Amino acid sequence: MIYEVTVAERTYKVELSREDASWQCKLDGKPFPAEIVLRSDGVYSILIEGKSYEATQEHTPLGNNIVVGRHRFTPTVRDPRSFRSLRRADSAAQGSKKITAPMPGKVVRILVAAGAQVEAGQGVLVVEAMKMQNELKSPKNGTITKLNVAEGSPVEAGQVLAEIE
């Protein structure tokens, strides 16, 4: 299997093949001396010339992360065969900017109407969660082209609340 994985602004070509019980892998065409075992607690134990790494996967409402030791990565995986792609919903947006809910909660105030002009950093709406009111700001100067929620509506993490053109 061949995957294109983008991690920390770099894209790697990862080739995986299984020989009897063990994984062989190449990184950007070069053999990568990784000795890999999947532990039954869902952790990959990886030995590379003696250095020991534990890699696990984190499932979040915004997609999957990879955690190596204590470092969290948000990879984009592209499988040329199936074109199935793992990518964070928010990073998918190109061009027009979106305001997405960073957490589940309830919209308690909408500060600007659809169609209104906003400046970067201007508050657009307020979402309440865990007894805290959190103001979501416009990522850019522009016009509110979409306002997908009303005051009082519950929102899910990652839900697109507004779009700015």
- Residue in 19, 29, 51, 150 binding other proteins, rule: CB under 8 A: 51
CA pair distance 7, 77, nearest whole angstrom = 9
Q: Where are the alpha helices (DSSP H) in 1-123?
A: 89-92
Contact predicate 24/18, CB 8 Å: yes
120 binds other proteins (CB under 8 A): no
- Within 56-75, the residues that bind other proteins by CB under 8 A are 56-61, 63-73, 75
Question: How would you label 117-128 residue by residue, b for 16+ Cβ within 10 Å and e otherwise?
Answer: ebeeebebbbbe
CB burial readout 16-25, b (16+ within 10 A) else e:
eeeeeeeeeb
Q: Which is nearer to other proteins, 75 or 161 (CB)?
A: 75
Q: Does 123 bind other proteins (CB under 8 A)?
A: no
Interaction between residue 12 and other proteins (CB under 8 A): yes
Provide, rounded to whole angstroms, the least separation between the CB of residue 75 and other proteins. 4
Question: What is the size of the binding site for other proteins (CB under 8 A)?
Answer: 76
Query: Hey, what amino acid is at 90?
Result: D
The rounded distance, in Å, linking the Cα atoms of 11 and 122 is 35
Exactly one of 22, 117, 141, 145 binds other proteins (CB under 8 A); that residue is: 22
Interaction between residue 29 and other proteins (CB under 8 A): no
Contacting range for other proteins; rule: CB under 8 A; set: 46-54, 111-119, 141-149: 46-54
Per CB under 8 A, contacts with other proteins among 131-150 are 131-132, 134
